[in-house]
Amino acid sequence: MAITLIVLYPIFALLSRYQGAEFLRPLALFCLLSGVFFPALARAKVAAWLAYILLCCALAAAVALRLERLLLHLPPLLFLSIAASVFWGSLMPGRRALISVFGESLDGPMSGEVEAYTRSLTIFWAVLLSAQLALSLYLSIFGPEWLWSWVTNVLNYLVLGLVFIGEYLWRRRRFPERKHLPFLEFMKKLSKFDVRKSR
């Protein structure tokens, strides 16, 4: 449910631009907010419910002040900023590359060659996310609305998805001696991985 709500955000954000349906802007933000909070709300955490209600009220106030267009630009920038910082942070001195940590937790001890590959891959993802962040920020400030909408709601996710799948397929051929989970099982493991393990 949480993933469904979050996925609805870029869909409604894109439709709000091309269908001229301004009511979809706050709906997109509400879906995103609900998707992020859904796991904690489902566990009936009081603090989460209080925070969720306060943020819903803040969103309603922003809509009343006609600030929803501005707010609509923030989630992609926040997502890319957080994701890029996680990858860059794992490359700092005294830390181990994020993908190296995940790979070892998944497939066991790595050879020096595989360790070097996963570190290079972590650098690649950090650079890719940073480039997407820079482009999205530029378009958010200086670009036409239609181009910003396509880049942040379609192109960025399409590129990330294609790179992710392509790297998975390449890795299976590059290191055939290592254990490789089926793609769906790999995704399940990835969704449960704690990024704090790289600290």
Residue 14 belongs to domain spanning: 1-72
Task: Provide the H-helix boundaries in the chain.
Answer: 2-18, 24-42, 46-64, 68-72, 74-89, 98-107, 112-142, 145-150, 156-174, 183-191
pLDDT tens digits, one per residue of 23-34? 777 888 888 888
* Whether residue 198 has pLDDT greater than 60: no
104 and 60 share one domain: no
64 and 77 share one domain: no
Mean pLDDT rounded to a whole number for the chain: 84
Cα separation, 195 vs 141, whole angstroms: 31
Q: State what percent of residues in the chain have pLDDT above 70.
A: 94
* Whether residue 58 has pLDDT greater than 90: no
**Count of the separate structural domains present in the chain:** 2
100 and 165 share one domain: yes
Please give the model's pTM, rounded to 2 decimal places: 0.80
Domain boundary among 29, 55, 72: 72
140 and 176 share one domain: yes
- In the predicted model, what is the mean pLDDT of residues 116-122? 93
77 and 37 share one domain: no
121 and 167 share one domain: yes
